[in-house]
Amino acid sequence: IFICTYIYGLEATTVCLVIAQLLEGDSLELSCSAGPAKVILEPNQAVVLDCNLAPVEQVINITWKKNGFPLVEQEHLHVLPNGSLFISSQAVAKDSKYPERAGAEGNYSCVSHSSLGAVTSQTAAVRFSTLSRFFQQPESQTVEENGMARFECRIEGLPSPVITWEKDHVAVPQEPRFITLPNGVLQIVDVQESDAGAYHCVASNAARKRYSNDAVLRVLKGSQPAGGDVTIIAAPENTTVVAGESVVMECMAAADPTPFVSWIRQGESTPSISQAPETISRTRASTARFVCKAEGEPAPTIHWLKNGEAILSNGRVKVQSSGSLVINQIGLEDAGYYQCVAENSLGMACATAKLSVIVREGLPSAPKKVSAVSLSSTTVLVSWERPEYNSEQIIGFSLHYQRAVGTDNVEYQFAVNNDTTELQVKDLEPNTNYVFYVVAYSQLGASRTSSSIIVQTLEDVPSAAPQLSLSSMTPGDIRVTWLPPPPELSNGKITKYKIDYCTLKEDQVTSIEVGGNETQITLYSLHPNKVYKVRIAASTSMGYGAPSEWTQHRTPDRDNQTHVPFAPTELKVRAKMESLLITWQPPANHAQISGYKLYYREVSQEEASDESPLDGAEDESWDVGPIKLKKKVKQYELTRLAPGKLYEVKLVAFNKHEDGYAAVWKGKTEKAPAAAVDPPVQKGPPLPPVQVYAESNSSTSIWLRWKKPDFTTVKIVNYTVRFSPWGLKNASLVTYYTSSDEDILISGLKPYTRYEFAVQSNGVGIDGPFGSVVERFTLPDRPSTPPSDLRLHPLNPYAVQVHWCPPAEPNGIIVEYLILYNANNTQPDDMWTLLTREGNIFSTEVHGLESDTRYFFKMGAKTVVGSGPYSNVKDVHTLREKLSDVLDIHSVTGIIVGVCLGLLCILFCMCASFRNSKQREALPGLDSQAAGNHAYYHRGRQGVAAPSATSDAHELESLMSPLPEDAPVPLGDITELTEVHSLIHTSLPEDIVHGKRKVMTCARGDWTPTPGRSLLLG
């Protein structure tokens, strides 16, 4: 046996429910927040309700309402000097003229008034503590030993009563086997013989205490609960509670073995304001928009209050389907407090915002003496006079009008030049009341609105004919019934109808006129079994409108009328845009019929003018039918029809022998709204909107906002938005949206993509040009794809070259690339080695790897928003180490030996060069004087010679034997000297060698100095 008890406590979120035992002097604060609040009063207790509406500034006075009516004060129910309301349970309703307004119990709300407006509070429900009688008593039962017992009692009270259980007038034992639930249930698990006895429950609260009837528990000894499928002993029940209260969801299940029970929650929630309206300030004649969004389940409905009073959507004040409130042409009277109230079946939520209207100095006063004259059924001439003050500053006027009767009307406006004080307003509805007013504009702003004037357009002939139905009661008559044209198509009061009829083959038409209150007539003295055609037209004071299409009908055959069912009577068809609702009454001989057959078809224009007879037996000519209906059916709706099309409907009664005579109707479905008004284009196209501005909302959406053109002569009914990626050449990817508001949120865009937008104004039957293009980027996002074309190439045993390409969908500027690598691809990402590279780098070398090892790499990209997904893992194997990569002892020894041999060779060459120099110094023929005068042979190179070089040259020259001036130098000696120079050039200063060369040059009588040298004489 398994027992499941689920106690689910709801915490207060948006709906604030207060249940309290209030002692005298306690208080409860009311505000524009979640509600309603609830107060329970016990005898001799009182409560003080405080009115604290935070948004209200400089409160002037506070008033109270009870049950929606002004509060009637009395001794124990009165308003305190600070505006709070004192309520005592001793306040009674007797001796009161209005008992619903007296006494302590009721629903209370306060209204706080200030110089700017008023705000109403949530509702507080004040109730007395009560305790009802038991409406469910515990029942006696017999259970097996070791089984399960369950007793239940139900009672209601305020506050919720506490329920306990007693056995034989003693509290049940405090054992785990005895489970007492707050909702009045006692569960006994593993029942023992000692549990037998009489049980009853005790309910108590602040009001009183009540005892239930006794229920006897009998225990059968030696029995065991039978095993089998799971059995739900007590299933959960649907219940509704307010946030802050507790609820018990009980579930008891029995089986062998013990079953497992789980819970799934799919609950509802109270409303909450997810986006509250903001306090705003606007200049006169501008537009104010309050945005309010609410959440809850069921979805809450939103309505608005102004200064505590409900707002009706009409004209320039519109409550949009999204819940937003839009006020056009605001004036000083629109200033005040606006409250957004969201409600569903579980509660309400509220938010408040203030509208301030700014009026500048130096504005023109309101236009004067506004008058309107109806010129025709569709045209009104409106005229006015210029304002009395600051008239010279006026730059133009705006004329506003709307229907005077009805709700959810649309306000239209015309821009008028400064030098004009009258305007003909066309394309109006006939026989309709309109209200007009005028506003003057200067460079500083708008004036107050003028006084309003109401005028009714003249009547016109009906725009549509009545819906006609035909049937026959006898072979010699046709019963004609019709539905009057709807008011919007009557164009005035219907004064009379004209019915035309004749046989199909005759040209002479008979006409009958009846009063405007009639809806049927019977045509007598007709021929049996003849096809007649009938039509009808309606008339106002302006004359008859267009007649209906000819409808054919065959009268019954006189010889066969006893066997053939008559046509159904009172056939009426209510035409809608895409459907026809057909109603009828049974024929006179309805006892003979078995049912009905319904046919219908769409009539083409060619068929409408064709007067060939239609035989009712030819079912092939009907688009749909027969639709067989039972005898008791008296209405049927045809759906999925085309708007504004001509249809013909035929209804016949049938019996088991044959079909009866037909009742026929022919008429048109309603036209689609877009095609309902198609006035001739008399004005130029509207100008495009101004101040078009695009604002990035997210990575996939952009807000586009604009304002209607300052001046236009066409009624603007909506706007068309065109957008596409920037620079797009493919016209098929251009998207168009239509908006009746002055903003639109365009979603479904690509992240970090440049889009271009243009907006077009649309009038009635005419569209203006698109305005200038604005451009905007969507916000960046994380990359949607990883870097592409990841390639790995081993460079050496310890390094790998990594190449990649940018992501296909970067969704922004890549600021960093992430390289993860590991020798074990089963480890989590946080254990992989991470390398980062700048976003403009597409290759790198990874060093510090181990040779002959398999490594796994994957890459990701990162924008300013965050990192995107990683690529698929790719692997690479590092190279093995080669013998040439390692220096052994033999290689090192060879290098040392080689270097030593090289040094020895250099030393040997130097010694050989020095020995040859000694031999040249011992040659004969040198002049001792010349040999002693070393300055004569000193090198004459520009610049300062190194001291060491000069000293060496002096010593060598002093050792040389002097030669006679004219003594020739043997060619062999010169050659030998040159060879010595080439051998010792790297070790001896060049001064010595070049000095010797100068001696030989001078001995030959050549006094030209060597380039770069100077000639010295001593």
The closest alpha carbon to 364, from 438, 253, 473, belongs to 438
Give the pLDDT confidence of 539-573 residue by residue, as tens digits: 998 889 888 888 888 887 776 555 667 778 777 88
What are the structure tokens assigned to 101, written together?
Answer: 């307004």
Give the pLDDT confidence of 386-411 residue by residue, as tens digits: 998 888 888 888 888 988 887 777 88
What are the structure tokens assigned to 532, written together?
Answer: 């007649």
pTM of the model: 0.44
Burial class (CB in 10 A: 0-12, 13-18, 19+), 367: buried
pLDDT at residue 977 tops 50:
no
What are the structure tokens assigned to 642, written together?
Answer: 């085309």
User: What SS3 state is found at 301?
Assistant: strand
Q: What is the mean pLDDT of residues 30-43?
A: 67
144, 225 contact by CB (below 8 A): yes
The second-level CATH assignment, the architecture, of 368-456 is Sandwich (2.60)
When pLDDT is cut at 50, 70 and 90, the band that residue 199 belongs to is very high
The beta-carbon contacts of 980-983 under 8 Å, at least 24 apart in sequence, are: 980/913, 980/916, 980/917, 980/920, 983/909, 983/912, 983/913, 983/916
Give the pLDDT confidence of 823-869 residue by residue, as tens digits: 998 899 889 999 999 999 999 999 999 989 999 999 999 999 999 99
Q: What is the mean pLDDT of residues 244-265?
A: 71
- What is the per-residue pLDDT for 28? 58
Residues 899, 901, 906, 909: what is their CA dihedral angle, to the nearest 10 degrees?
-170
When pLDDT is cut at 50, 70 and 90, the band that residue 701 belongs to is very high
Check whether domain 130-256 has CATH 2.60.40.1180, yes or no? no
Residues shown for the chain:
1018
- Class of 17-121 per CATH? mainly beta
CATH annotation of 467-676: 2.60.40.10
φ/ψ (deg, to 5) at 565: -65, 145
Within 13 Å, how many C-alpha atoms sit on residue 256's CB side?
7
When pLDDT is cut at 50, 70 and 90, the band that residue 5 belongs to is very low
- How far apart (Å, rounded) are the C-alpha atoms in residues 641 and 600? 11
- What is the per-residue pLDDT for 561? 55
- What is the per-residue pLDDT for 671? 80
> Poorest-confidence range of 56-70, 146-160, 245-259?
245-259
Do domains 17-121 and 787-884 share one topology? The answer is yes
706, 742 contact by CB (below 8 A): yes
Domain spans, the chain:
17-121, 130-256, 272-358, 368-456, 467-676, 690-777, 787-884, 915-1003
**Domain 787-884: CATH superfamily, name plus number:** Immunoglobulins (2.60.40.10)
Q: Which residues pair with 990 in a beta bridge?
A: none
- What is the per-residue pLDDT for 26? 55
pLDDT at residue 687 tops 60:
yes
When pLDDT is cut at 50, 70 and 90, the band that residue 608 belongs to is low
When pLDDT is cut at 50, 70 and 90, the band that residue 804 belongs to is very high
Q: What is the mean pLDDT of residues 29-48?
A: 70
pLDDT at residue 807 tops 90:
yes
Give the pLDDT confidence of 479-526 residue by residue, as tens digits: 888 888 888 888 889 999 999 999 887 778 889 999 988 888 888 888
φ/ψ (deg, to 5) at 890: -65, -40
Give the pLDDT confidence of 66-91 residue by residue, as tens digits: 888 888 888 778 888 888 888 887 65
The closest alpha carbon to 96, from 106, 86, 109, belongs to 106
> Poorest-confidence range of 76-90, 127-141, 199-213, 944-958?
944-958
Check whether domain 690-777 has CATH 1.10.30.50, yes or no? no
The second-level CATH assignment, the architecture, of 272-358 is Sandwich (2.60)
pLDDT at residue 884 tops 70:
no
